[in-house]
Amino acid sequence: MSPVPAFLEPFRIKVVEPLSMPTRSERAAALERAGYNIFRLRAAEIMVDLLTDSGTNAMSAAQWAALMDGDESYANARSWERFERVVRELTGFPCIIPVHQGRAAERILFSCLLKPGRISVSNTHFDTTRANVELVGAEALDLPCAESADLTSEEPFKGNLDMQELDALLDGPDGARVACVVITITNNLGGGQPVSMAHLRDVRGRCDSFGLPLLLDASRFAENAYLVSVREPGQVSRPPRQIAEEAFRLADGTWASLKKDGLANIGGMIGLRDADLAQRCQQLLIATEGYSTYGGLAGRDLEALAQGLLEVTDRAYLAYRAESTAWFADTLAHGGIPVVRPPGCHAVYVDAGRLLPHIPPHQYPGHALACALYLEAGVRSSEMGTLGFGRAQRDAPDIPARHELLRLALPRRVYTRNHLEYVAEALIRIAHKPEALHGYRILEQPAALRHFTAVLAPLPAR
């Protein structure tokens, strides 16, 4: 194992919850019953849950206190006024629209912004983002920077968009079809990699030149701001909140799942400068989610989010977040596990394709590793490879994803170093005999977002 870490949690634990501890035979039965789909496992069958950092955060004492002040008035509640004020001060957007989570924001915004045949360009669209673009008949085009192809390099901003590819697109025959440019901060599918402020300014300039709106998927805006403050020349030691405020002010609009850097369990928002677009979004929100001042959320949720958005840019918290994630990545690497470098904040990504070269992409090496980790230690994680991000083909193997990754997402303020050491030890044991793992085949799958509900079966060992 790596040396004892120097980081210190900038909080103390006030409430605890017992962990479930199913036996190996119980885990094997659970995996079979779930159709070998990690999402279909019951929470009671999990010991350490690293499936996602979305909505799984531990709230602070101040957030719990804020719940008691929730105003549940249907329209224009005090809690809405506080939420709007906090979000507007952070982002600078005059039009703030609350929603119950990020994918609701994506559906509403893209339904009002895009049309069939148009293109949304991004450093990387995440799974629900792509699905909501495609549901309106538009095309989601990913243009990740060239540096992101090397998972082992220490390039600091592998979340950036490829500017040469963007220029070629905008100057080419499909340029007129581009409707917006989306920058995801941090770049989740790319390994939790940040986007630099210099890059955001460059993208802003291109959007101005071509009359395109620049949108931020800002679900992890605070973590991106902290990584900028420690990696980017000219930004070092700037307060993360100041960096985040500048990033929002470079954009024409934003949406966020506040189940991440809102430090809460539910909620999201849309922020816009265009009043006409905001009005169309509000009308769709009222028809499908709730009135425009609660958007499907309770007043107590809005209070918890407002408080979380004030806490999340605290430098001590963000430094702990980054340092603990880096320690976890280094611990795995010291044990022979290939991980994406440099580590970000919200997750550690294992290069399952490199660890399991005998399993081809269409047999889902990331998923095979996720199943093995659950069977070995009761740890739930998520595949970010061909199962989730490849393309199914009729009567042919899947078109592979760019990388075959296993994501170990870290809920905020939930797990201690001992929990992560337990996970690391289990993965290192698995890595000592990688040839023992086998691939999987799909028995049943929906037309979109198959990784959430597909039923799989293990392939026989060769």
> Under a CB-based contact definition with an 8 Å cutoff, are residues 229 and 240 in contact?
yes
Look at residue 299 in the predicted model and tell me its pLDDT.
Answer: 97
Percent above pLDDT 90 for the chain: 93
Q: With a cut of 90, say whether residue 307 has pLDDT above it.
A: yes
State the Cα torsion 83-84-89-90 to the nearest 10°. Answer: 60
Please determine, for residue 6, whether its predicted confidence score (pLDDT) is greater than 80. no
Beta-carbon count within 10 A of 38 CB: 21
Report d(CA 90, CA 92) in Å as an integer: 6
What does the pLDDT average to over 163-186? 97
Indicate the pLDDT class of residue 190, thresholds 50, 70 and 90: confident
Domains and CATH numbers, the chain: 24-53+314-458 (3.90.1150.10), 61-311 (3.40.640.10)
**Where does the pLDDT of residue 185 fall: very low under 50, low under 70, confident under 90, or very high at 90 and above?**
very high
pLDDT (average), residues 145-171: 97
Q: How much is the mean pLDDT over the chain? A: 95
Element (H, E) at 304: helix 299-311
Q: Among residues 48, 67, 2, which one has the least CA distance to residue 414? A: 48
- pTM of the predicted structure, to 2 decimals: 0.95
User: Tens digits of per-residue pLDDT, 223-255?
Assistant: 999 999 999 999 998 999 999 999 999 999 999
pLDDT, tens digit, 9 for 90 and up, residues 196-213: 999 999 999 999 999 999
Cβ count near 41 (within 10 Å): 21
- pLDDT tens string 245-289: 999 999 999 999 999 999 999 999 999 999 999 999 999 999 999
More confident residue, 162 or 401: 162
What are the residues whose beta carbons fall under 8 Å from the beta carbon of 347, sequence distance 6 or more? Answer: 50, 53, 188, 192, 325, 407, 408, 409, 410
* Phi, psi of 86, rounded to the nearest 5 degrees: -65, -45
Q: What is the distance of C-alpha 68 from the center of its chain? A: 29
Distance between CA atoms of residues 250 and 172, nearest Å: 25
In this predicted structure, what is the pLDDT of residue 5? 63
Task: Write down the pLDDT at residue 462.
Answer: 67
